[in-house]
Chains A and B, each alone.
Chain A
Amino acid sequence: MFLKALYVGIVGGVLSMDVYGWGTLAAMGRPVVLGPILGLFMGDFWTGLWVGATIEFMFLGVIPTGAAIPPDATMSALGATALAILLGGDRATAIALAVPLALLGQLAQVIVWQVNAFFLHKADDFAEKLNLKGIENMHYTGMFLFFLRGFVPIFLGVWLGVEPVQNFMNALPEWVSPGLGIAAGLLPAVGFGMLLNMIGLKRYWPYFLVGFTLATFFSVGIVPIAILGLCLGFVIVTLKSMTQKPSEAEAF
């Protein structure tokens, strides 16, 4: 079972890296693609096809936007396909586990994004020392972490069997996963804070408030707000150049 778990884990890990890793085909991470391919490797293409398609439907409406991490359809499909085939084609059990697996995948995703922040700071240091290879290695390290994110849960799941997976999920203190979720909502503020300092909050704060107000009080989406920002920028800049240097404004 150990070797089988290793084999399935590696195949699953590599497949799960498509979106967050090598990204070449960028469709491999979807249940409907990943289920049958993993099935092929495990010797039961048709079960994989069915499980993958069923989970594809379950997660069709789950859409990631911006910095938010939704329940993980990729991990759900990998785990459920592997379990269904190992259980001798028991599709019902596999599908019952689809949602817990997706939540586990989401948790793994949050952890990798947080660990990668550490390597980001390493990359800062390498830039300071002009170590380009070092920066590249930090990128590859992230890639490897995304491999582990797929490999570890599948390897453990297959190796230990079905029951411990459920027990582990139940044993995890129930505040850990929501706690990381709350932190995930707070953390983008760090990046935005840096960006505000970079562009210059003192000079441009009114535009920041315009965007914030439109999104908060008028529920305007990001695309119309950006278009408005573009127009604002154009108008302000044109007005300025007209009042300051009329000759240049003509050339413009």
Chain B
Amino acid sequence: MTADQAVADTQAVEITRKDLNKVFWRSLSIMASLNYERFLAVGRTYIMLPVLRKLYKGEELKKTLHRYLEFFLTHPYFANPIAGIQIAMEEERAKGAPIDEDAIRGVATGLMGPLAGVGDPLFWGTIRSIIGGLCASLALAGNAIAPFLFVILWNIPHYFVRGTLLYKGYDMGMGLVKEFRETGILQRITEGASIMGMTAIGALVALWVSVKFSPLEFSFGEAVFNVQSLLDSIFPNMLPLGLTLLLASLLAKKFNVNLLIIILIGIGLLGAFLGFMA
């Protein structure tokens, strides 16, 4: 597509407080379309729709929708500050600022891992254990206030992250965008975010992808081999790494995603049925 077409498909309009409010209300249900392949992809596209349909149309809207339907996984509450920054960037981009698609994408891929790393232990670990422990003890003592107390105490930090940080992210995004323009550091930010994202993904593969053989043992004469511990002694997490790289290369060759997923589920069921995986 030429630059002229891109301009024709964008609309230089202000994103108002009202639009941000729409995004906020939608963001509450971000988890509703959670799936194993791209996790919050549909959810965040749903959240961004009020803004995207205002800024883009035609081919440009199509491209943007596909851009948001990409892999996205973070703590559900912390998806909002990311959305705030991205809204600001989309708005400036639609107004003709030289903001690369990769820069907007980089905000999500660069921030989602670290924000999940903050959000999961903070909310599910610290805050929930404290409030849950407190309210459950009150409830066991026969105090009817306990469930209501839990709802109130939980929703103070909840709405701070989802509400306040959405609007803050938007304001900050505007500031960031201005800075990009004045100093021309956009490309550098994009590259920096790619490096950060890549480093984080490397860690996420090690932490979240799990491929394990059962403690299978083969014996050759006196020697006994345990497949998994043998593999681990060469290179722990070698199978998750190998699987991820294999899938990346298959996907790069336009291998059918659905088929890959069905094959993986089949391997899982077969692995449990025959007992060679755990």
A33-B150, A182-B272, A190-B264 known; A20-B31 Cβ under 8 A: yes
Chain A residues positioned under 8 Å from B240 (CB to CB): 189
Given known pairs A193-B248, A226-B200, the reply for A60 and B205 (CB within 8 Å) is no
Tell me if A237 and B192 are in contact (CB < 8 A): yes
Q: Which of B187-239 contact A (CB under 8 A)?
A: 188-189, 191-212, 236-237
A66 CB to closest chain B CB (Å) equals 5
CB pair B265–A180 under 8 Å, yes or no, is yes
Residues of B within 8 Å of A87, CB to CB, are none
Q: Which 10 pairs, one residue from A and one from B, show the smallest C-beta to C-beta distance? A: A211-B202, A183-B268, A229-B199, A185-B210, A142-B33, A233-B192, A179-B272, A53-B139, A193-B247, A116-B35
Contact at B151–A27, with CB atoms within 8 Å? yes
Any A CB within 8 A of the CB of B160: no
**Which residues of chain A come closer than 8 Å to B246, judged between CB atoms?**
193
For A147, the closest partner residue in chain B by CB is: B32
Contact with A along B252-269 (1 / 0, CB 8 A): 100001101100110111
Please determine whether B114 and A227 come into contact, CB atoms closer than 8 angstroms. yes
- Residues in B neighbouring A21, C-beta threshold 8 A: 29, 31-32
Interface string of A200-238 (1 = CB under 8 A from B): 110111011111111111001111011111101110111
B269→A176 contact, CB < 8 A: yes
Chain A residues with Cβ below 8 Å from B264 are: 183, 186-187, 189-190
Interface presence of B70 (CB below 8 A): yes
- Contact in complex: A183, B265 (CB < 8 Å): yes
Binding site for B on A (CB under 8 A): 19-28, 30-33, 35-37, 45-46, 49-50, 52-54, 56-57, 60-61, 63-68, 112-117, 119-121, 123-124, 127-128, 130, 132, 135-136, 138-143, 146, 173, 175-176, 178-201, 203-205, 207-217, 220-223, 225-230, 232-234, 236-238, 240-241, 248, 251-252
Q: Does B1 contact A (CB under 8 A)?
A: no
A contact residues around B154 at 8 Å (CB): 25-27, 30
Q: Who on chain A is nearest to B105 by CB? A: A198
Pick from A60, A113, A184, A204: contact of B136, CB under 8 Å: A60
> Which residues of A have CB within 8 Å of B185?
252
**16 contacting pairs across A/B (C-beta < 8 A):** A27-B154, A53-B137, A53-B140, A63-B128, A113-B36, A116-B36, A123-B33, A139-B42, A180-B269, A187-B36, A187-B265, A193-B246, A216-B237, A222-B204, A236-B195, A238-B188
CA distance A65 to B201 in the complex (A): 15
Tally of chain B residues near chain A (CB < 8 A): 115
CB distance from A147 to the nearest CB of B (A): 10
Q: In whole angstroms, how far apart are the Cα atoms of A25 and B147 in the complex?
A: 12
Q: Select A211's contact among B58, B184, B203, B236, beta carbons within 8 Å.
A: B203
Assess A226 versus B150: contact at CB under 8 Å? Given A123-B42, A135-B42.
no
Of chain A, the residue at the smallest CB distance from B265 is A183
B97 at the interface (CB under 8 A from A): no
Known: A27-B151, A233-B195. A32 touches B36 (CB 8 A): no
Judge whether B261 and A117 touch: CB under 8 Å. yes
User: In the assembled complex, how far is the CB of residue A63 from the closest CB belonging to chain B, in whole angstroms?
Assistant: 5
Most buried by B among A141, A186, A201: A186
Chain B residues lying within 8 Å of A64, measured Cβ to Cβ, are 120, 124
A122 CB, nearest partner CB in chain B, Å: 9
Given A132-B53, A193-B244, A196-B248, A56 and B43 contact (CB-CB distance below 8 Å) = no
Question: Is B267 touching A138 in the complex (CB atoms < 8 A)?
Answer: no
Cross-chain contact A23 with B30 (CB below 8 angstroms): yes
Query: Are A117 and B36 within 8 A (Cβ)?
Result: yes
Q: A116-B42, A212-B241, A233-B192 are in contact. List 16 more A-B contacts (CB 8 A).
A: A22-B32, A25-B155, A27-B158, A36-B147, A52-B139, A56-B136, A113-B34, A120-B69, A121-B257, A180-B268, A182-B271, A190-B251, A191-B73, A193-B246, A198-B109, A248-B184
- Would A192 and B201 count as touching, CB distance under 8 A? yes
Q: How close is B212's CB to chain A, nearest CB, in angstroms?
A: 7
The answer for the CA separation of A248 and B193 in the assembled complex, in Å, is 19
Are A199 and B194 touching (Cβ within 8 A)? yes
In Å, the complex CA distance between A33 and B152 comes to: 11
Interface-side segment among B13-21, B60-68, B166-174: B60-68
Find out whether the CB atom of A197 lies under 8 angstroms from the CB atom of B203.
no
**Bound complex: CA A23 to CA B47 (Å):** 13
Interchain CB contact (< 8 A) of B45 among A26, A135, A215: A135
What A residues does B117 contact at CB under 8 A? Answer: 221-223, 226
